[in-house]
Amino acid sequence: MMNERRDAKAIKRGGGRTLIPLDEIESFDSKEFDRGDMLSPDLLYDRGWAFAVLDRVFARLREESQRSLNPPLLQRLNTLLSDEPERPSQADIACEFGMTENAVKQAFHRLRQRYRQLLREEVAHTVATPAEIEEELRHLIAALRS
């Protein structure tokens, strides 16, 4: 029972899902993927809202990270999010920047953690009460998947 509970929590935190590099979402051009003929106006509006929220989050994250991390390191950490087979390892990035592998792991963890915080803050601006944030995040994810 404990294993099943642990597995359920892992899935809830994103276990088994493909990671999307920040650069790919950041450079998203909605004209490239015009699915207007397949989606209802409500879904189109929700997708537009979701991408606008993500754009603001990525802009804030990039701005904050460039002050605290050097931009080349930020760019290399972003490659860790890709699902490509030839992506660099954390050890490779550590050697490249003269850091320990643990320092790279911590920087990557902090970057992802700050992204989650910024996303929650951005979504909080769109709801009336803090209790609605989780539901709005689920709605945002559903809009991106549609």
Contact 58, 66 (CB under 8 A): no
Tokens of residue 80, six digits: 């860790």
pLDDT-derived band of residue 120, with 50, 70 and 90 as boundaries?
very high
Residue type, 23: D
Return the higher-pLDDT residue of 24 and 101.
Answer: 101
pLDDT tens, 34-91?
Answer: 554 567 888 889 899 999 998 898 888 888 877 777 778 877 887 776 666 778 888 9
Residue 30 clears pLDDT 80, i.e. is over it: no
Contact 94, 103 (CB under 8 A): yes
